[in-house]
Amino acid sequence: MSDKKLFLLDGNALVYRAHFAFITRPLFNSKGLNTSAITGFVRSLWDILVNQRPSHIAVSFDVSGDTFRHEWYPEYKANREAQPEDITAALPYIYKVIEGFNIPIITKVGYEADDIIGTLSKQAEKEGFKVYMVTPDKDFGQLVSDNVLLYKPSRQGNGVDIMGVGEILDNWNIERIDQVIDMLGL
């Protein structure tokens, strides 16, 4: 097995997940800032750094504005609720933490974090990396291979889920990874 371990974090998905994990008992600092998203994101990041010891790591975030999908389908995400204000307020602090760890933040105008992570995962796999796509998003299952894994951070103390080809096939009750696309479409 390669010592080249790349962890690609889906920043938006992890921030949202962290924020809503504390929704019934949000965390606030002395200035009244809701720190739930910050705390949860940093806990996930720290757990990866300490317990997984990646040789390489990056975080990808969506950028504001339309993506190429909007050109294909103008109603893409039209019914999605606006980002909660507490998340908007937390993001600059989360970026500072990531930068403080000297971890690259990767974004590209016109593309979502999912697109970036998918592309980098497949490129890194060709270069001999074991890649861990860090996200709770089940859509990433379609990208899993022998060297590209889905890494779902611990939630409510239930431990980390690392899903390879076998786990994805069993989870979806399918025979081939490309069938994840069909299952998502249904």
Give the pLDDT confidence of 140-161 residue by residue, as tens digits. 999 999 999 999 987 766 788 9
Quote the CA–CA distance of 167 and 165 in Å, as a whole number.
6
Q: What is the pTM of this model?
A: 0.89
- For the cut 60, the answer to whether the pLDDT of residue 180 exceeds it is yes
Give the pLDDT confidence of 123-135 residue by residue, as tens digits. 999 999 999 999 9
Quote the CA–CA distance of 108 and 167 in Å, as a whole number.
31
Length of the chain measured in residues:
186
CA atoms within 13 Å, Cβ hemisphere of 138: 12
- For the cut 90, the answer to whether the pLDDT of residue 82 exceeds it is no
List Cβ neighbours of 101 (8 Å cut-off, separation of 6 or more).
45, 49
Q: Which CATH number fits domain 5-185: 3.40.50.1000, 3.90.1200.10, 3.40.50.1010, 3.40.50.2030?
A: 3.40.50.1010
Tell me the C-alpha to C-alpha distance, in Å, between residue 165 and each of 145, 149, 158, 172: 6, 8, 21, 11
List Cβ neighbours of 35 (8 Å cut-off, separation of 6 or more).
27, 28, 29, 90, 93
Write down the domain spans for the chain: 5-185
Question: What strands lie across the sheet with 148-152, from one edge to the other?
Answer: 105-106, 56-60, 5-10, 130-134, 148-152, 161-163
Please, is 183 exposed, middle or buried when counting C-beta atoms within 10 Å of its C-beta (0-12, 13-18, 19+)? middle
Closest to 114 in 3D by CA, of 88, 138, 89: 138
CA angle, 100 as apex, 84 and 24 as ends, to 5°? 30
Residue 110 one-letter amino acid: G
Q: What is the mean pLDDT of residues 76-82?
A: 63
Closest to 105 in 3D by CA, of 157, 158, 145, 45: 45
Q: How confident is residue 6, by pLDDT bands cut at 50, 70 and 90? A: very high
- For the cut 60, the answer to whether the pLDDT of residue 77 exceeds it is no
